[in-house]
Amino acid sequence: LCRSRELLSMALTCKAFGWRRTPSGSSLIEEAARQFLANQLRPSAVERGALPQHGDDTIAWLSILDELERLRLPLKFSKLVGRGMEYAGSESSVFASHNVISTAVTNYVMKRGVHYASFTLSGDFAIVGVARPFRDFSFVNEAEGFDMLDRDYFDDILAQRTDTWVGNVHYCQLYCRPDDAGLTDVDWTDLQECHEVEAVEESFFDGDIVGLLVDL
């Protein structure tokens, strides 16, 4: 056994027949997850900083193992919001037409620590960014595309708020163009206004790699 889902399946089976616990009081499955993390996966200091912390009654070693496996997988776009956008070979690559702005989003939620993702640009225009978690996108008119900075959507976006929306930056994006690049962020609670675009002294071309780093 070497995957969190396999251990979870065994845990459910053990639960059906009665748990067996180690001398420390933890279940055998929990102990197996702990040892696999420590002896096989060996998370780095950066990874440990991004993982949930054991010790809370709601956080188990099996949950930490599952989170680490997800953290090491290539970032996938779990949903394409709007029209004119499709996957290009895998869920880690998307292609969009230029006549409408649509958005590819991932369902990976960053909770703590340092997170980094890189994107290889295809074409002469792209936008990469990071946003607060959304519960759903049912408010989007798919025929019109979806732009995070479209003020027509601000009320619907604000309706997605939870208590975890702390701070005054709820969305940040980087325009990647050959001759007109810029960085902007928005606080959707601040009079529904975007902050001014900050010029970036960099040109972006087809094939360039853009990295985003978030430190929580």
Note if the pTM is more than 0.75: no
Task: Give the confidence band of 24 by pLDDT, cuts at 50, 70, 90.
Answer: low
- Alpha-carbon distance of 86 to 34, in angstroms, equals 39
Q: Can you read off the two tokens belonging to residue 95?
A: 């292609």
Please report which confidence band the pLDDT of residue 137 belongs to, taking 50, 70 and 90 as the band edges.
confident
Mean pLDDT of the chain: 79
Residue 15 has pLDDT above 50, yes or no: yes
pLDDT at 1 over 50: no
Which pLDDT belongs to residue 52?
79
Tokens of 47: 């990874």
Alpha helices (runs of H) in 28-165, residue ranges in sequence order: 28-36, 45-50, 61-72, 154-158
* Residue 114 structure tokens: 């340092």
Q: Convert the pLDDT of each residue in 28-50 to its tens digit.
A: 777 778 888 888 888 888 888 88
Q: Which residue has the higher pLDDT, 166 or 191?
A: 166
Distance separating alpha carbons of residues 42 and 125, to the nearest angstrom: 39
Of 168, 174, 166, which is closest to residue 212 (Cα–Cα)? 174
Q: How confident is the model at residue 201 (pLDDT cuts 50, 70, 90)?
A: confident
Q: What are the pLDDT digits (tens) for 82-128?
A: 777 888 888 888 887 766 788 888 888 888 888 888 888 888 888 88
